[in-house]
Amino acid sequence: MKALIKIGGSLLDDVSSRHDLARQIAAISRGIHVTVVHGGGKQMTRFLEERGVKSTFVRGLRVTTDETIDAVLKVLAGSVNTQLAAALGAAGARAVGLTGIDSGVAVADQLDPELGYVGRVTASDPGLLATLTEAGYLPVVACVAGGADGQVYNVNGDSMAVAVASAWKADRLVFLTDVPGVLDASKTILPLLTIEACRKLIADGIATGGMQAKLEAAMNAVTHGVSEVRIVRGSDPDIVGRVFNGELVGTRIVQ
C-alpha cells in the first residue's frame, strides 16, 4: 500500500503534537510506503508578524510577495520541514526532508496575478518518491513548488497533497485536520461520502469555507485514481494507527 498523509501546519506548531504524530506515522511506515506533505501557515504568519509584515489573504490564500516567498522558504521549507523530519527520525523513521522543487515532485505556474507567487501544481514527477519509499525512506514534502522558469511558488497544502498523491498513485490520502470529519446539517459526522454526496453538501451550503475546499480536494483526488480519501482530526488519540488499522473514524470519501 502507498499512503500520502497531509498534515496541517497548526498540528505541527506544538512540540508534543508534532512528536506524537511523528511516532504514529513512523509506526505505520514500517509496513507500508508513506509520504508526508505538510503545511505551515500558522508558523509563517507568526514569522512575518515578528518582522512587521501583515499577511493578506484572498479567497483563503495568502498573497505571496517577494518578502513572503522568502518567509515560505525559511519557515515552511526550513524550520517546519526540518523539525518534522527530526521528529520522525527520533521515532525511528528514515525521514528525508524535501520540497516540491526537488526532482520535479511538484511543478507549478502562477495561479492568479492578484495572489503573487501562489502556484497551481501543473505536473508532478513521482520518481523520487518511488525511489525513496521503495528503499525504506519516508519523504517529508513542504508545500513549495518550482515553475518551469525557475520561479519558486507557495502552494496550498491540500492541492499539493492531491497532485502528489495522484501522480504517485497513492492508494489512500489522509488529511489530518482540526475537525473530526465532514459534518452534516445537524453537526453529525458523515462516515462515508461519494463524489455525488460531496457535491450535494457544497450545493446545499452545508460544506463551506475550509471544508468545501477539503471536499473539492478529495473529489479531485478520487477522480484522479486515489482509491480513498480520509478526513480526520489529527489531535485525536492514535488517529493515524486507527485509520490504518481499519477503524471507521472520520469521513471516508470514495469515487
Expressed in angstroms, the distance from the first to the final Cα of the chain is: 18
- Helix %, strand %, coil % of the chain (to 5): 45, 25, 30
Q: Which of 100, 102, 116, 158 is catalytic?
A: 158
Output the nine-digit C-alpha cell for 161. 497533497
Which residues have CB under 8 Å from 179's CB, separation 6+? 211, 231, 233
Q: Which of 8, 39, 40, 41 is catalytic?
A: 41
Q: Which of 9, 39, 100, 116 is catalytic?
A: 9
In the annotation, is 246 catalytic?
Answer: no
Taking the C-alpha atoms of residue 226 and residue 186, their distance in angstroms, rounded to an integer, is 29
User: Does residue 181 sit in helix, strand or coil?
Assistant: coil
In the annotation, is 181 catalytic?
Answer: no
Taking the C-alpha atoms of residue 173 and residue 196, their distance in angstroms, rounded to an integer, is 19
Taking the CB of residue 213, how many other CB atoms lie within 10 A of it? 17
User: Does residue 7 sit in helix, strand or coil?
Assistant: strand
Q: Which of 2, 102, 116, 214 is catalytic?
A: 214
In the annotation, is 187 catalytic?
Answer: no
In the annotation, is 41 catalytic?
Answer: yes
Q: Which of 6, 8, 40, 157 is catalytic?
A: 6
Choose among 9, 143, 125: nearest CA to 64. 143
**Alpha helical stretches, state H, the chain:** 9-13, 15-28, 41-50, 66-71, 81-90, 127-134, 157-168, 195-203, 209-223, 239-244
In the annotation, is 66 catalytic?
Answer: no
- Could you list the active site residues? 6, 9, 41, 158, 214
